Every structure is written in C-alpha cells, then in structure tokens.
C-alpha cells in the first residue's frame, strides 16, 4: 500500500501555547531564522522514499513519505513489519543568544485494526548532545477502523531547550507499532493522515523561543533537578469517524 504524508514546520514564537508565569523569559521571534537542512532515517522512511519542499523563506517545509506503514497478521511474513519509525533531524539557522524548543506536535492518521490488535503512536523529542527527553505515546484498541488525531502539548516550563552557544540539532523520533496475542488470527494496518485519497502522516510543529539563559539565575522551576525523561501529562487524542 502506497501513501503520502506531509510535515509542515512553522518557525514562530507561540508564546500563547501554554501559560508562562514569568513573561521576562518570553522574547519576540528573532530575525534570520530558517531551516538549513532536514535529514531522516528509519524503517518507515528508507532512502529514496522521502522528499522535502520548502516555502520561499524556508520557514515552512513539507516532507513527503510513501513507505511509513506498519502491518500485522497471519499473512504478514516479517515481525519487523509491525513496527516502523522515522527520525527527523532538523538543523535551523538562528542568531546567537537565543534558544528554541518544540512545544506542539500533531499527528493525524488512520488505523484499520481487528479486535485483539493494539496500535501505538509515539514520539520522542530531544537535542543532540543532551540526555533530557520529552516523550508521548497514545494507544488504540481494536476493533478500530477510522482516522485519528494525536496532539502533544509540551509544557513550556519543562520543555527541552536547544543547547546554549550552539546551533542545536533538534531530533524528533516518531514511531508506529501494532501488537496482538500469540497465534491470533487478528490483523491490521496503521498509517497516518489521508491526503488526496492516499494514506499518510502529518506532523505540525510549534516552536517556542527565548533569550539564552545560560550561566544566569533562572526561575525556580528551572532550578529543579533535570529529569532524563519527561512524559507528557497533557495531550489530546481524538477519533475522527
């Protein structure tokens, strides 16, 4: 089954995406921001299966997939077909003295699964060279034959920020997977978003900016011990019948 997908990235300061107690930590979007490069890797986006398009100002880009799909069932020969992933590496150009973080993420897709089949859609956000992560995962229980919308809303106070004094490489590792009991006759497929009659995945990113807060006193919430992994507590999952 062939399908397509789009991933637009909006480079802007979405300060209203979440409440912020100290407005001094929120800054207008700096000038000179654009996407320099996009790299991808994973079983859901093998070489040659992805293409990228950019807006004129390179602040919005679209990535199109044609092999991001998971399948399970008696007729599926490879167990590895039940899980697919695609990691995006986003290299942005932005002026020194600023940091950025991903604060919003939307996945739209379609699941066609029998009873006894469980579908999972997950994402991990992190910056190269840093151990801190933000993760999100949602589950669909079969029988289910409909589209879905998964929206992650990352709390700005606990967002993972790009490194100080460096052009941080933002990594977003997405994955889809299907599971079923051993020897079950149940089957299913999991793709994402329906675009022009094809199956695909659509991710939308919102970025939060701030003046670099490196080597200076931060708010109390920033002084708390850093977690290696932060699971999103607030996200939405909507079934689109």
C-alpha span between 86 and 46 (Å, rounded)? 9
Residues 177-219 have pLDDT tens digits of: 999 999 999 999 998 652 222 222 334 445 566 666 665 433 3
Interval 149-172 mean pLDDT: 73
Interval 2-8 mean pLDDT: 42
Residue 76 token pair: 């599926």
Q: Which residue has the higher pLDDT, 100 or 71?
A: 71
Residue 201 token pair: 């995945």
**Threshold 0.85, pTM exceeds:** no
34 forms bridges with which residues in the sheet? Answer: 93
* pLDDT the model gives residue 77: 92
CA-to-CA dists, residue 211 to 25, 29, 99, 157, 222, angstroms: 7, 10, 6, 14, 14
CA-to-CA dists, residue 22 to 29, 102, 111, angstroms: 17, 19, 41
C-alpha span between 148 and 237 (Å, rounded)? 7
Q: Which of 74-83, 108-117, 218-227 has the highest mean pLDDT?
A: 74-83
Would you place residue 24 in the very low, low, confident or very high pLDDT band (cuts 50, 70, 90)? Answer: very low
Residue 14 token pair: 């979405």
Of 82, 20, 111, 65, give the one whose Cα is nearest residue 203.
65
* pLDDT the model gives residue 160: 76
Would you place residue 69 in the very low, low, confident or very high pLDDT band (cuts 50, 70, 90)? Answer: very high
pLDDT surpassing 60 at residue 176? yes
Contact 176, 84 (CB under 8 A): yes
- What percent of the chain has pLDDT above 70? 60
């Amino acid at each position: 089954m062939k399908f397509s997908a789009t991933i637009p990235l909006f480079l802007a300061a979405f300060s209203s995406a979440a409440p912020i107690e100290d407005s001094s930590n929120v800054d207008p979007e700096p000038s000179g921001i654009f996407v320099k490069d996009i790299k991808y890797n994973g079983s859901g986006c093998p070489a040659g299966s992805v293409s990228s398009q950019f807006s004129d100002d390179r602040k919005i880009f679209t990535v199109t997939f044609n092999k991001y799909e998971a399948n399970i069932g008696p007729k599926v020969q490879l167990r590895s077909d039940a899980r697919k992933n695609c990691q995006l590496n986003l290299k942005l150009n932005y002026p020194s003295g600023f940091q950025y973080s991903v604060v919003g993420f939307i996945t739209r897709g379609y699941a066609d699964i029998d009873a006894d089949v469980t579908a999972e859609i997950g994402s991990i956000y992190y910056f190269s060279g840093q151990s801190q992560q933000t993760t999100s995962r949602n589950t669909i229980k079969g029988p289910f034959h409909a589209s879905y919308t998964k929206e992650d809303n990352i709390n700005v106070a606990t967002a993972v920020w790009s490194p100080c004094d460096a052009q941080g490489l933002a990594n977003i590792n997405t994955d889809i997977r299907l599971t079923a009991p051993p020897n079950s006759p149940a089957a299913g497929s999991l793709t994402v978003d329906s675009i022009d009659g094809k199956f695909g995945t659509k991710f939308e990113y919102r970025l939060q900016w701030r003046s670099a807060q490196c080597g200076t006193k931060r708010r109390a919430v920033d002084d708390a011990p850093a977690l290696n992994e932060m699971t999103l507590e607030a996200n939405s999952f909507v079934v689109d019948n």
